[in-house]
Amino acid sequence: MFVLEVCAPVCTTELGEVARRSKDFADRGVKVIGLSANELSDHEKWVDDINEVNNVNVDFPIIADHERKVSALYDMLDHQDITNVDTKGIPFTVRSVFIIDPKKIIRLMITYPASTGRNFDEVIRVIDSLQLGDKHRITTPANWKKGDEVIVHPGVSNEEAEKLFPGFRTVKPYLRLAKSPF
């Protein structure tokens, strides 16, 4: 239970936010899975707490990783804060997000310190960018939001860009902007 008490405040808000945004993930064809440093036996009560506190229904799986085996494999242990350990002296996890594509390739890794909750607006933004780029041969600039201009992929010739993105504009030979394709 100690692990839950240390982890619960921020994790409870994060998993509640993921559950609240389940339609956002489903609309994008994204399957969500959680990883917890808690015992499986703790999950039922914790999920009840998450649902109650956030007025949601957690309906995605949460892997119990109380021995931190998966966390160690994915470098998710807190090596910076030597006080952030459980009663057995095992480091707690930092807050990591992995986006894994249908080919099982890790496309994104974001790690937050244990004390800072994750930004799920950013996670959704990155998913949109990756999916758009995979479909339309574009990349996205800094602070891009859905509907903003996109960058024509550097591998696309000007001739092809004119067909794919009529009226694109060249800022620099390596930076060509186009209207968002969606």
Q: Among this protein's residues, is 7 annotated catalytic?
A: no
Q: What is the pLDDT of residue 8?
A: 62
Q: What is the pLDDT of residues 113-160, one digit of tens each?
A: 878 889 999 999 999 999 999 999 999 999 999 999 999 999 999 999
Query: Which residue is it, tokens 């242990």?
Result: 77
Structural domains of the chain ordered from first start: 2-117 (3.40.30.10), 136-179 (3.30.1020.10)
Nearest by Cα to 15 from 43, 41, 3, 30: 43
Name the active-site residue from 3, 4, 7, 11.
11
Predicted confidence (pLDDT) per residue in 23-66, tens digit: 999 999 999 999 888 888 888 899 999 999 999 999 999 999 88
